[in-house]
């Protein structure tokens, strides 16, 4: 039987996603969000923008890995700014 080998970066990544989801749940409980329309051409809530930001960040990483030889940390930094932009103006 083959077991998945967890590396520290993998564990940190999934831990961060889990903490983000817990934080968003608490935020939603304390201050329910209202739909608003920003740059994304449809009304979205905070949770919608988080999902769109995470999904698009995954595609950005895949495109970066497929098209460049640079270290993936460059894509990670870009995706952090991308997520902040989507959550703020999305």
pLDDT in tens, 41-73: 889 999 999 999 999 999 999 999 899 888 888
Classify residue 2: in a domain, yes or no.
Answer: no
Does residue 82 lie within any of the structural domains? yes
Could you report the per-residue pLDDT of 11-20, keeping only the tens digit for each? 888 899 999 9
What's the domain count of the chain? 1
Spatial contact of 82 and 57, defined as CB atoms under 8 Å apart: yes
Domain extent at residue 40: 8-89
- The model's confidence at residue 1, banded by pLDDT at 50, 70 and 90, is low
Whether residue 28 lies inside any domain: the answer is yes
**Residue 3 within any structural domain of the chain:** no
Pairwise CA distance, residues 6 & 62, whole Å: 20
Nearest-CA neighbor of 29 among 4, 47, 6? Answer: 47
What are the structure tokens assigned to 7, written together? 């590396």
For residue 36, give the 3-state DSSP assignment.
strand
């Amino acid at each position: 039987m083959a077991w998945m080998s967890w590396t520290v970066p993998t564990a940190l990544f999934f831990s961060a996603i889990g903490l983000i989801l817990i934080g968003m749940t608490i935020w939603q409980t304390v201050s329910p969000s209202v739909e608003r329309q920003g740059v994304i051409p449809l009304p979205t809530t905070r949770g919608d923008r988080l999902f769109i930001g995470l999904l698009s960040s995954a595609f950005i990483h895949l495109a970066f890995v497929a098209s460049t030889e640079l270290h993936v940390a460059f894509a990670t930094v870009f995706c952090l700014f991308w997520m902040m932009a989507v959550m703020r103006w999305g």
